[in-house]
Amino acid sequence: MCRITIASGNFEVAKVIDSIIFMAQDQNSSHERNTEKGLGSYTHPDGWGVAYLSDKGLVIKKSTKAIFKDPLVDQLRKIKTDFMFIHVRKESCGKVSLKNTHPFKARHPLLGECLFCHNGTIKDQILFDASYKSQGSTDSERLFYSILSDITENEDLSIAKKMQQNLQKYPETKGSNIVLATLDKTYVAIRKNQLPKYFGMMLGQGKDFLLISSEKLKTFPDIKWRSILPEEVVIIQNGTTSFSVRREKKSIIQKVMAKLL
């Protein structure tokens, strides 16, 4: 299980890092995982990873330490970038190791270099093209390769559709949300789940920056937030506040019919 934050545009790197540290310490908001024992009872101490855009492309840094105990994090505050995403892990499938720490990286024949992170646990068998080789033992890495195996066109609508269709293959999960990033664009999707607060994703818009996060961030109280819906895929133009939302038509039809009934 994990927490994820994406930032794009003109944002304060240190403030974004502080935000996900707050989430990793389970001090940000109430959800289904901490309702019984309260804030601070469901921390995410099993490693962290950050990817950010530089003049050399997408740079990745990882650690197996808890982000709220790792002195390396102080170096991240000095990063100058207009796009980054951070993932903090709570081990559920695969031991604590760098190979199991998000984000994962692989090359797709049409999309080029891709990065990926995931929140959730998938117990079903995950199949993918033999050209991809797992380096670790986590279900998240295998899910990444499964999604890349399904993508056959470098076109936003097709990529969004394949991502949502792939998530529906795996019924044995309480929830999943995913981030797939290329050099130019980032795609964010969630599936319908049993724990909507914990497995939800929120989109926040500031004056000149954009945030997507596993939780509405207390450190950004003055911006507008909205939930990303299970039938949606949000597509960000990396480094900008420009984004679009793609919806699965079938999901919308089913939703309208449910209201009529």
H helix intervals, the chain: 13-24, 73-76, 139-150, 156-167, 249-260
What is the predicted pLDDT for the residue at 92? 82
CA–CA dist 223, 210 (Å, integer): 10
**pLDDT of amino acid 257:** 34
Give the residue from 83, 153, 172, 253 showing the smallest Cα distance to 163: 153
Strands 209-213 and 104-108: unpaired
User: At which residue do the structure tokens 């891709």 appear?
Assistant: 114
CA distances from 88 to 19, 108, 125, 213 (A): 12, 25, 24, 12
Instruction: Give the Cα separation of 224 and 202 in Å (integer).
Output: 10
Rg (CA), the chain: 17
Per-residue pLDDT tens digits of the chain, which is 261 residues long:
899 999 999 999 999 999 999 999 999 999 999 999 999 999 999 999 999 999 989 999 999 999 999 999 999 999 999 999 999 999 888 799 999 999 999 999 999 999 999 999 999 999 999 999 999 999 999 999 999 999 999 999 999 999 999 999 998 888 899 999 999 999 999 998 889 999 999 999 999 999 999 999 999 989 999 999 998 999 999 999 999 999 876 544 334 333 433
| Residue 231 in tokens | 């039938």
pTM over 0.85, yes/no: yes
Alpha helices, DSSP H only, in 59-155? 73-76, 139-150
Around Cβ 102, how many Cβ atoms within 10 Å?
28
Q: Domain 2-260: which topology?
A: Glutamine Phosphoribosylpyrophosphate, subunit 1, domain 1 (3.60.20)
Domain residue spans of the chain: 2-260
| pLDDT computed for residue 47 by the predictor | 97
d(CA 253, CA 238): 31
